[in-house]
Structure 1
């Protein structure tokens, strides 16, 4: 027999009691600049893993810091009471680089509260996800009604290259009945969501070469093409006049039913006055179930240092988001073929893959999804959660689906449309964070009551 499950009112009181300490620990975590990208000081990622391990040990978990050729992940375990299910709680402790610090209104690694939001890199993505798990564990204390495995990754923002091997190496330790992935977001402030589909991703580089060395732009311009102009023309072929992706062979789907008003997305994206949307069809289809191509950066002479010379070579980084149902390897081949086919003026084009990841679709039905919706409804005072797609990518979810087909996978999160994850002035809505913490604590109780 399992232990008695705390009542909803008891859970509410316990979470409220723990929130001041949870916030203080969140602020300590975000002060650690744990960036797993190449060229950054990875000792901070080590510090971040140690800090997470300390938090989990404080919740009574058996904890190990593990790695498989990449950055450190943290695994914490606490056995289930007799007859109770086990829940895997995922988050990641690494963060994105901050980019141009002049665009931040405050130090990105010194948390600051403004107007009910906590500003710092990682405040929303995804150190608040870690602390939502910790909040739920602290609320129950010794009365935790389920077994838990916490898997806190250390290189999600850098592509999760070693995650699959970590899952293989520790499969027996982390096998669970339910998997909660706290790395997504809610539909709006005051409206919770379950994420049921995510696009895949292909990141690649395209380099264009027209010369073996730079030459005088006046002496040779007009007859000899420069690589930067050729690259710009090549990149322009990736979209048609309406802004839809023009690469043959990429999957495009329809079917998203959530209403996403254009004025809302314009405000949330910060679309400049007069700028039009791109693509065709419903906004939600364009964001969730159709491909997208973005130019993330270009290697070429900076304007302040550019000589009057034709550029011999130029390089761009592309991000291609893939509709659910597409295959990253086939999609990369289609993009490469398109770029090679459309090389202007016979320019030499080289395409190389950086990384890719699978899209996924989740069947959000069954007793564990009912348990999640009930917990969300209670935490948001009667507001029903919305099933949403996400235009971004969490490729490892497909890996979890493949490795643990028996487990219900719940994709939740702490972000809201104003969180600005990955951008300057990332922030966490503190009121929504408290609801997320309560929802997760209630979810653990509901999962225990539902059984497996």
Structure 2
């Protein structure tokens, strides 16, 4: 039988479109907020819904409860497979069925748990992150149907938004359910709703808690102020010492990289400033392309600071303070290496000889795509055929720790990171939405990609 053409796949997706939107709409209505309890009944119900929908498109899917590293019950996971030929390539499809909370429904223009179409976008919590990923997998498998030429394995996770605590134990207990030649992670997004992207890299992440101490007890600022600086000021000096005059992080041993696979198009500064809500007079920190600064160069952020509130403050010199640093690392640097380098730098740059103590926190490895892999080439071709325009690859400044863990456990698998989001998706925020144009073409892309991988 001749292979399906792009037009045939496109026609099949068009014919199945109402079902795909119905699946996504029902998924939004399930309120699968893992923050309300990963082991709770509503999360089990969400997993069972996904497993049912996967069975309708040929996957022998089941719901299994994971276990945390300490042995306590973990998330409700969906695993399954569809084996067409033991000798054919095997593709693992990943998405997650849990969603972010909605702390303030009044901040939404629509009911966050009722799928609402406005123009080209479908609004609702999880419409993009990551109900859209589930819809893509469902639509692509339905489009190929009996013409599928690759073996399929699926893993739909139930606690991605909570940090994936049980992820590694679950893989280790079910390793045969994950072994594959290609892994498609549908939890990222495109350059825009109309321009597709492969995600080429993810930064790693590491945290440090830093204590700065100048005194053994508080003293009066009028009596001792001048020769003795308060701990908050000393901490500010220490924090500022990490950056050079251009705003680049200047810590020896903390590495920087250029965009993986080359930079096809830089991030538009005007759009970036508008999306981030940058005040008009602020000059962007750092040098080089904005893309490299956001995707592959390191960045450090003070995410917590212990200081007396302004209200109720009084005239004393703070003897010590503590702050937490979040360091985003270049995709290929080991986070523990960067963490140690930053800790050494901070202790060596203690202002005026103040005591500086550093307590290391958690580490998450970054990830870089193999731009020369066969699966990468197939994915880029599928994107251009589906969308009708050349893809613009992009890195992500954030971290998805389970991807490098997958790559570590299955080093021979080619990992592709795709997804339904675009710059207007507002994932994790009020008015989350997915582009209907983008979603449809993402489904066509994945079907085309699976067809190419089966040749």
If the length of structure 2 is used for normalisation, what is the TM-score?
0.85
User: Which among 184, 187, 192 is matched to residue 191 of structure 2?
Assistant: 187
Q: How does 1:141-160 map to 2 (within 5 A)?
A: 141-160=145-164
Quote the Cα distance in structure 2 between the aligned partners of 1:96 and 1:354: 24
Q: How much does 1:151 deviate?
A: 0.9
| SS of the residue 1:91 aligns to | strand
Q: How much does 1:5 deviate?
A: 4.2
Q: How much does 1:247 deviate?
A: 2.3
- 1:41 match: 37
Quote the Cα distance in structure 2 between the aligned partners of 1:219 and 1:58: 77
Closer/same/farther in 2, CA of residues 118 and 339 from structure 1, 3 Å limit? farther
8 Å contact kept, 1:99–1:424: no
Q: How much does 1:193 deviate?
A: 1.4
- 1:14 match: 12
8 Å contact kept, 2:304–2:325: yes
| SS of the residue 2:16 aligns to | helix
- 2:172 match: 168
Q: How much does 1:4 deviate?
A: 5.6
Q: How much does 1:91 deviate?
A: 1.3
Quote the Cα distance in structure 2 between the aligned partners of 1:155 and 1:437: 24
| SS of the residue 2:54 aligns to | helix
User: Which among 440, 445, 451 is matched to residue 445 of structure 1?
Assistant: 451
| SS of the residue 2:416 aligns to | strand
The question of 1:133 aligning with 2:129 is answered: no
- 2:63 match: 64
Q: How much does 1:343 deviate?
A: 4.0
8 Å contact kept, 1:75–1:150: yes
RMSD in angstroms over aligned alpha carbons? 3.1
Quote the Cα distance in structure 1 between the aligned partners of 2:8 and 2:82: 22
Quote the Cα distance in structure 1 between the aligned partners of 2:172 and 2:206: 24
- 1:421 match: 427
| SS of the residue 2:394 aligns to | strand
| SS of the residue 1:276 aligns to | coil
Closer/same/farther in 2, CA of residues 104 and 19 from structure 1, 3 Å limit? same
- 1:294 match: 301
Structure 1: give runs of 5+ residues left out of the alignment. Answer: none
- 2:25 match: 27
More displaced 10-residue stretch of structure 1: 385-394 or 425-434: 385-394
Map Cα deviations across residues 315-337 of structure 1 (whole Å, 9 max, x no partner): 44432111133111111112222
8 Å contact kept, 1:216–1:308: no
Q: How does 1:247-262 map to 2 (within 5 A)?
A: 247-254=251-258, 256-260=262-266, 261-262=268-269
| SS of the residue 2:177 aligns to | helix
8 Å contact kept, 1:80–1:147: yes
Q: How much does 1:186 deviate?
A: 1.3
| SS of the residue 1:185 aligns to | coil
More displaced 10-residue stretch of structure 1: 158-167 or 307-316: 307-316
| SS of the residue 2:198 aligns to | strand
- 1:329 match: 336
The question of 1:412 aligning with 2:418 is answered: yes
Closer/same/farther in 2, CA of residues 361 and 129 from structure 1, 3 Å limit? same
Map Cα deviations across residues 2-55 of structure 1 (whole Å, 9 max, x no partner): x76444333222212222222232233234454545xx4332444433332232
User: Which among 53, 71, 75 is matched to residue 55 of structure 1?
Assistant: 53
Q: How much does 1:180 deviate?
A: 0.8
Quote the Cα distance in structure 1 between the aligned partners of 2:21 and 2:80: 21
Structure 2: give runs of 5+ residues left out of the alignment. Answer: 69-73
Closer/same/farther in 2, CA of residues 350 and 153 from structure 1, 3 Å limit? farther
More displaced 10-residue stretch of structure 1: 365-374 or 191-200: 365-374
The question of 1:76 aligning with 2:80 is answered: yes
The question of 1:236 aligning with 2:240 is answered: yes
Quote the Cα distance in structure 2 between the aligned partners of 1:236 and 1:106: 43
User: Which among 395, 398, 401 is matched to residue 395 of structure 1?
Assistant: 401
The question of 1:351 aligning with 2:358 is answered: yes
If the length of structure 1 is used for normalisation, what is the TM-score?
0.86
Matched residues, number: 443
Quote the Cα distance in structure 1 between the aligned partners of 2:210 and 2:430: 27
